[in-house]
């Protein structure tokens, strides 16, 4: 008698996985938890306001999601007050951590716009929503204009588009009105903010001719959105 005939194969065992979502699924997470893990990996972040069901799954299974991300050398950053979460590379001196996510390369104007949005957000403490006008932001960036006005306007529009569509830190809130996402606080760390503000102030005042190169920034902005128009300011994007 052949006992192997009565022994379930690996495929048969996986097919009977109680957590399986399809035939031969070997995963152990529920569907919503898998979806929130996928969204975190896709990036740039998961928002409780925009995706309440995914947010609920994340809060319920935070420890297992964090563990799965650690398997990929990623940390989970979660803000339960403003309800958003994102991933970033694990920082440790114990091992050489490989890069696990794409880096978003930003142009000179992208970085300047991020700083302006961050300043506007922090200038309204306690406000549930911080709404800005596009022209208000553009006016604050006018001090960095070089070349003709039409080229500068295209560069501004390109940076604005990246803030809205790629980094998702601006959300439409009416005709030419936009809400700043709290996520903008985390796109540039505190130490880097002080360094960049110092450099940008010197550039704006014309005190340091070589400040752009000194900061590792590119002054060659264009209205193109691919990563070749970039400075060396990089943000981790899941």
Query: Is 144 in contact with 112 (CB distance < 8 Å)?
Result: yes
Residue-wise pLDDT tens digits, 56-90? 999 999 999 999 999 999 999 998 888 889 998 88
Residue 113: C-alpha distances to residues 37, 42, 138 (Å): 30, 23, 8
Residue for token digits 């959105």? 225
For the chain, what is the mean pLDDT?
78
The CATH fold of domain 11-89: Arc Repressor Mutant, subunit A (1.10.10)
Residue for token digits 């929130």? 36
Query: Is 109 in contact with 155 (CB distance < 8 Å)?
Result: yes
pLDDT of amino acid 13: 53
Mean pLDDT (whole number) for 13-17: 56
Q: What percent of the chain is predicted at pLDDT more than 90?
A: 33
What residue segments make up the domains of the chain, in order of their start?
Answer: 11-89, 105-237
Q: How confident is the model at residue 2 (pLDDT cuts 50, 70, 90)?
A: low
Instruction: Among 36-45, 143-152, 188-197, 206-215, name the most confident range.
Output: 36-45
* pTM assigned to the model: 0.63
Mean pLDDT (whole number) for 152-162: 93
- Given a cut of 50, whether residue 38 has pLDDT beyond it is yes
Q: How confident is the model at residue 125 (pLDDT cuts 50, 70, 90)?
A: confident
What beta strand segments (E) does the chain contain?
46-47, 74-79, 84-89, 102-105, 131-133, 170-172, 177-180, 234-237
Query: In degrees to the nearest 10, what's the CA dihedral of 143, 105, 115, 79?
Result: 170
Q: How confident is the model at residue 222 (pLDDT cuts 50, 70, 90)?
A: very low
Mean pLDDT (whole number) for 104-121: 86
Q: How far apart are CA 114 and CA 111, in angstroms?
A: 5
Residue-wise pLDDT tens digits, 174-221? 877 899 988 888 877 666 666 676 777 677 666 544 444 444 444 444
């Amino acid at each position: 008698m052949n006992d192997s005939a009565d022994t379930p194969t690996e495929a048969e065992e996986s097919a009977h996985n109680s957590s399986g979502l399809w035939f031969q699924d070997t995963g152990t997470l529920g569907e919503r938890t898998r979806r929130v893990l996928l969204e975190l990996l896709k990036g740039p972040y998961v928002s409780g306001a925009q995706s309440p069901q995914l947010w609920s799954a994340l809060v319920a299974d935070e420890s297992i999601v964090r563990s799965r991300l650690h398997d990929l050398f990623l940390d989970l950053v979660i803000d339960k007050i403003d309800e958003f979460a994102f991933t970033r590379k694990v920082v440790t001196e114990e091992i050489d951590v490989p890069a696990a996510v794409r880096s978003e390369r930003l142009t000179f104007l992208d970085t300047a716009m991020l700083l302006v949005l961050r300043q506007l957000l922090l200038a309204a403490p306690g406000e549930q929503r911080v709404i800005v006008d596009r022209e208000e932001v553009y006016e604050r960036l006018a001090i960095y204009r070089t070349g003709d006005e039409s080229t500068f306007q295209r560069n501004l529009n390109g940076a604005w588009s990246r803030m809205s569509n790629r980094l998702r830190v601006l959300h439409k809130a009416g005709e030419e009105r936009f809400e700043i996402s709290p996520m903008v606080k985390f796109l540039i760390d505190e130490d880097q903010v002080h360094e960049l503000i110092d450099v940008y102030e010197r550039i704006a005042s014309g005190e340091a001719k070589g400040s752009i190169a000194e900061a590792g920034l590119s002054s060659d902005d264009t209205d193109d959105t691919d990563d070749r128009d970039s400075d060396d300011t990089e943000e981790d994007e899941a």
